[in-house]
Amino acid sequence: NAISTNDPLGAPSPSSDYWGGVVYAENSEFSNNWRCIEFMSYPFFEQKSQFKNCTFERNPEFTYPSGTNIPALVSIWHTEGIQFEECQFLNHQNGIGLIIFDGNAIVSAGNIFENNGIAISSQSTFPFGSDLEIGKDGSTTNLFIDNRFGVRSNATDKFEGLLIINNEFITTDSFNLIQTSIDLAGPSR
């Protein structure tokens, strides 16, 4: 992991006492990491983490060891309000660009998700929920290009639910790619 808010001691049973933290990254590139960013549970803190003009990518020549779960480029677990602006999530063809479990992310303006299995996934475990804001009025459009799924939401039933505003979903090669722009399953608002 390039950045992790996990237990720094690396104990076999990590202690949640060491989870959480604030990350601010601008004009940065995260390439060919096991996972670019890993946010661990930090639910009782007003999150200020932001990523501006960052690239999260997997070089197509990079391979994960066989038999392993392929992690998302960026994963957020039970943390609220992490913001992405003018970022790129690229070339994670068999994986997920951004995944949120039981939390919230704001994918505001000018982000590009290209050539991913799933660009953005929002999931939750009972009784928790998640919410997700993708785009906003009057801002630069977010682009979703040649992803198998643009947005897959399995549980955006908390607070604001799922907001998708001012985004473009584009398929450049309709013969070789079947794209679902927005896939909703489970409880949603």
pLDDT at residue 94, rounded to an integer? 84
User: Do 51 and 25 contact (CB within 8 A), yes or no?
Assistant: yes
- What is the reported pLDDT for 15? 61
Instruction: Give the amino acid at 69.
Output: N
In sequence order, the β-bridge partners of residue 25 are 51
- Tens of pLDDT, residue by residue, the chain (189 residues): 888 887 666 555 556 666 777 889 999 999 988 889 988 877 666 778 999 999 999 877 777 777 777 889 999 888 888 999 999 999 998 899 999 988 889 999 999 999 999 999 998 876 677 788 999 898 899 999 999 999 998 876 666 778 899 999 999 876 666 788 999 887 666
At 44 the pLDDT is 66
d(CA 64, CA 62): 7
What is the per-residue pLDDT for 51?
A: 96
DSSP string, the chain: --EE-S-TT--SS--GGG-----EEES-EEES-S-SEEEPP-TTS----EEES-EEE--TT--PPTTSPPPPSEEEES---EEEES-EEE--TTSEEEEEESSEEEE-SS-EEES-SEEEEEE--TT---EEEE--TTSPPEEEES-SEEEEES-B-STT-EEE-SEEEE-S-TTT---EEEEE-SSB-
- What pLDDT score was predicted for residue 175? 60
pLDDT at residue 173, as a whole number: 73
In this structure, the strands spanning 118-123 and 149-153 are parallel
Neighbours of 146 (CB within 10 A): 18
- What distance in Å separates the CA atoms of residue 50 and residue 114, rounded to the nearest whole number? 20
**Confidence (pLDDT) at 12:** 55
Give the pLDDT of residue 115. Answer: 93
